[in-house]
Each structure stands twice: as C-alpha cells, then as structure tokens.
Amino acid sequence: GQSLEQPSEVTAVEGAIVQINCTYQTSGFYGLSWYQQHDGGAPTFLSYNALDGLEETGRFSSFLSRSDSYGYLLLQELQMKDSASYFCAVILPRWGNTPLVFGKGTRLSVIA
C-alpha cells in the first residue's frame, strides 16, 4: 500500500518562509509532485521531483531525498494569496501516465 504523511495545518507570517514536509511509504516510487488548492478550486501543479535535490520555481522550491523517503515544499516571501491547502503526491512506476497518490494536505494560513 501507499501512505503519505504531511502536517495538517501550518500558520506563518506574511513575508516569512515556510516549509511543508512530506514523508511517504510506497510500494514503488517514481517521483513526488506538489499541488496547491484554494478553497473551492482545483489542484494546481506547483513542482515535480524525480531525482534527489532541490527544484526552484520562483518563490517556491521543492526538495526530495529518495533514500529518506522525504520531501518538502519551501515557500518564500509569503503572501496572503498563498493561504491554501498544499498536497504532496507520489507518482508510482506504472505504465504510461501514472496516477497520483495524494497526501491529506496541509492547510497553510498566512497572517499579517
């Protein structure tokens, strides 16, 4: 089976940096993705890591350590609009486009 663990809630101050961790236990692993979802909205793709290391996209960075079955999403220069739920999702090694296995999500609240 598969399981992903991430904190249920995180609160951070506007302008600060926040890190959302994700640990996983899966039978097979191909990569880790991160999605952002605002209330009432659809999940929006943020980043994808297939190899160990840091991937940076603007204010967002994502890190993966395959040996530790661990990854994190780093959000810098937090803005109020970053208040949303953030999901890590494991990509499993199957045929073609693999389905995503999502964690339960971390609700980020950015306060002034």
Q: Interface residues with other proteins (CB under 8 A)?
A: 30-31, 33, 35, 41-45, 48, 50, 87, 89, 91, 94-105
CB of 80 to other proteins, least distance (A): 22
Identity of the residue, 44 or 109, whose beta carbon is nearer to other proteins in the bound complex: 44
CB of 112 to other proteins, least distance (A): 25
CB of 39 to other proteins, least distance (A): 11
DSSP string, 57-111: ETTEEEEEETTTTEEEEEE-S--GGG-EEEEEEEEP--SSSPPEEE---EEEEEE
CB of 43 to other proteins, least distance (A): 5
Identity of the residue, 5 or 19, whose beta carbon is nearer to other proteins in the bound complex: 5
- Please report, for residues 12, 42, 52, 54, 75, the alpha-carbon distance to residue 16 in angstroms, rounded to integers and kept in the order given: 7, 26, 25, 19, 8
Give the residues across from 37 on adjacent strands.
85
Identity of the residue, 74 or 101, whose beta carbon is nearer to other proteins in the bound complex: 101
